[in-house]
Structure 1
Amino acid sequence: MVKVTVCGAAGGIGQPLSLLLKLNANISELSLFDVVNVPGVGADLGHICSDSKTESFLPSSKEDKSALASSLKGSDLVIIPAGVPRKPGMTRDDLFNINASIVRDLAQGIAENCPDAFVLIISNPVNSTVPIVAETLKKNKVFNPKKLFGVTTLDIVRSNTFISQVFSGESKPTDFDTIVVGGHSGETIVPLYSLGKSADLYSKLSEDDKAKLIHRVQFGGDEVVQAKNGAGSATLSMAYAGYKLAESILKAFNEPNVVECTFLNLDDSIKGAAEAKKLVGGLDFFSLPVVLSKDGIAEVKYDVLTKANADEQKLLEVAKEQLAKNIEKGVKFITN
């Protein structure tokens, strides 16, 4: 029996994400929360003949906290795509002032109603919203760093897709499982193409083509924003990415050695986190491959940082500098 709650279930990411979750046989109860339109989403999904029970929760007013509390009670996993999307010309940081308070309030609800749940943060800017959730849970004395995940999976999805497009006659996206480290915004995104299954093909590229490929991964979201002519940002691909991480976490409840990249708190209680923290200049948060378990993050696979090539090391230095500011911004939002 696994209960999953989606906070922001009626949004552009929330709806397709909820659909994918509804089809997962490991989920027995799907709880949908949003401040608009969620009863319709719940009714629609409720007609699907999968075995999970679906229930939606809509506040009766801005002051009503009971709907959020009811949606979260007993949840094993909470996914947060809530917030406003990017518009043309906006960076993820531009979204901060709006989305920061939304995420803080949802984190408070988690602290009060399901403090032991796995928490997946999609709401942008992830580099700042994950620290906001961590600080909120710490204030409530219920923070478990092993169960907080910033969803950076879309960067991996794009990395696999984009390199396969470069080598369209020789490969397909499912041939790859690119390691992407750093954060989830522009130059904080560092795909390590020199490692793993992509290494041989990547080595065939000119320096200029390598730079173009990495830039496309780092700013791939802009392609979608522009293609939608201001009507939205990446929703379907982000929903898929969020689901992919959630699916792996659920799989790890029963299977060993499930590995995914995620933006995590490098807390000493996690195996390998202290070593990782030294390698990233003392940053408290960083996206790295982790081994998952039924209790959360079991281990950080920090060795990828030492295996990155010289060009990737330069990208990492830029990422670390930017991430320090992003993380501080999130922490200060709560501590101040």
Structure 2
Amino acid sequence: MVKAVVLGAAGGIGQPLSLLLKINPLVSELGLFDIVNTPGVAADLSHISTPSKTAGALPPNDGLKATLKGAQVVVIPAGVPRKPGMTRDDLFKINAGIVRDLAIAIATTCPKAFVLVISNPVNSTVPIVAEILKKHGVFDPKRLFGVTTLDVVRASTFVAETLGDQKLAPKVTVPVVGGHSGVTILPLLSQSQPPLPAGFADDKRDELVKRIQFGGDEVVKAKDGAGSATLSMAYAGERFADLIIRAIGGEKGIVAPSYVNLAADKDGGEGLKKAIGKELEYFSARVEIGPEGVEKILPLGNLSTYEEGLLKAALPELETNIAKGVEFIQTAKL
């Protein structure tokens, strides 16, 4: 049983995410924080007949620190959603400062917690959290995760749709590596389980990859300015948080995709760096998770020629995204 905390709990992702965590039987205490409406969200959830205790706080009276005290898992969906016409750079300018301030509170209040970052752009916000934890001398790369589960969820759903059988969606598994935005998202369709049909048409493959990479745009457009992917992201966020909670409880053999600092691997990420041909500090890959966090970063496996091309296209943007997050902290006055 663990204490889980949601930072940004009153938002479009935060509310459904908090609901899903409230009904998770492994959560004994649920702490909620946001700049508005959190006590109301907590009161609403507290009426649900599950064992976990729920409390919500606002910024006054050190509400953030009170919420984080004793936290073992902290999930961060805080920030503004993407709107039509908004670029990842626009999003970064707003969300970077929000994530920085939350990371400072984590570093000073619950430095041993597992930190799960949902706030976009994840390719940059995870390095921001890491740099803050480093500045406070509490950084443990094994306990910091960028939540990329939605990419895998989308890949499973879209592959099933492409094959014309939606009932396959829960059974389809497609490794998705790289990063968590646009061309940095690399779905390894060649490693899909069950395997895609032999001779899977190039036009279908290209269209499928693009849809996985830019699925968020599809939702933003469909909501016509009223929001971004909130419900599917909440589902994916809770799904990943549940795996972390189960690993804390001692369950073995848990493997999940996540955007992590490569120093979390026992070889310092050298194997993965060699495979991608680039000295990157962060990369999304399948990781094995244990009670102390990342136990091992799994190899990429054999890539098709097509996937090697996607990887080559992803790396420059991923490198830029990482540098942006690091520089935001290193060049700014906290």
Q: TM-score range by the shorter chain?
A: over 0.9
Distance, in Å, in 2 between the alignment partners of 1:189 and 1:268 is: 21
SS in 1 for 2:299: coil
Question: Of residues 212, 216, 219 in structure 1, which corresponds to 2:214?
Answer: 219
Question: Of residues 284, 288, 292 in structure 2, which corresponds to 1:291?
Answer: 288
2:97 matched residue in structure 1: 101
Question: Of residues 181, 186, 189 in structure 1, which corresponds to 2:177?
Answer: 181
Gap regions ≥5 residues in structure 2: none
Q: How is 1:231-270 mapped onto 2 (pairs within 5 angstroms)?
A: 231-253=226-248, 254-267=250-263, 270=266
Question: So what's the TM-score if we normalise by structure 1?
Answer: 0.95
SS in 2 for 1:200: coil
Moved more, 185-194 or 164-173: 164-173
Q: How is 1:3-42 mapped onto 2 (pairs within 5 angstroms)?
A: 3-42=3-42
Query: What's the offset of the Cα at 1:288?
Result: 0.1
Q: Which amino acid aligns with 1:163?
A: V
CA shift in 2, pair 1:116/1:324, >3 Å: same
CA shift in 2, pair 1:165/1:271, >3 Å: same
Distance, in Å, in 2 between the alignment partners of 1:116 and 1:271 is: 22
CA shift in 2, pair 1:268/1:69, >3 Å: closer
Asked if 1:322 is matched to 2:317, the reply is: yes
Query: What's the offset of the Cα at 1:252?
Result: 1.5
- 8 A Cα contact 1:270 1:297, kept in partner: no
Question: Of residues 291, 296, 301 in structure 1, which corresponds to 2:298?
Answer: 301
SS in 1 for 2:170: helix
Gap regions ≥5 residues in structure 1: none
Distance, in Å, in 1 between the alignment partners of 2:172 and 2:47 is: 36
Distance, in Å, in 1 between the alignment partners of 2:290 and 2:181 is: 27
CA shift in 2, pair 1:47/1:178, >3 Å: same
Query: What's the offset of the Cα at 1:204?
Result: 3.6
Q: Which amino acid aligns with 2:49?
A: C
Distance, in Å, in 1 between the alignment partners of 2:173 and 2:267 is: 23
Distance, in Å, in 1 between the alignment partners of 2:254 and 2:164 is: 29
Distance, in Å, in 1 between the alignment partners of 2:262 and 2:116 is: 16
Distance, in Å, in 1 between the alignment partners of 2:139 and 2:264 is: 13
- 8 A Cα contact 2:84 2:225, kept in partner: yes
Distance, in Å, in 2 between the alignment partners of 1:3 and 1:227 is: 36
Distance, in Å, in 2 between the alignment partners of 1:182 and 1:119 is: 20
Distance, in Å, in 1 between the alignment partners of 2:31 and 2:313 is: 40
Question: So what's the TM-score if we normalise by structure 2?
Answer: 0.96
Q: Which amino acid aligns with 2:299?
A: Y
Query: What's the offset of the Cα at 1:205?
Result: 2.2
1:70 matched residue in structure 2: 66
Q: Which amino acid aligns with 1:20?
A: L
Distance, in Å, in 2 between the alignment partners of 1:236 and 1:228 is: 12
Asked if 1:313 is matched to 2:304, the reply is: no
Report sequence identity in percent.
54
Query: What's the offset of the Cα at 1:168?
Result: 1.9
Q: Which amino acid aligns with 1:30?
A: L
Question: Of residues 96, 118, 125 in structure 2, which corresponds to 1:122?
Answer: 118
- 8 A Cα contact 2:141 2:264, kept in partner: no
Distance, in Å, in 2 between the alignment partners of 1:269 and 1:150 is: 15
Query: What's the offset of the Cα at 1:92?
Result: 2.5
Q: Which amino acid aligns with 1:223?
A: E
Query: What's the offset of the Cα at 1:198?
Result: 4.3
Question: Of residues 140, 155, 158 in structure 2, which corresponds to 1:144?
Answer: 140
Query: What's the offset of the Cα at 1:139?
Result: 0.3
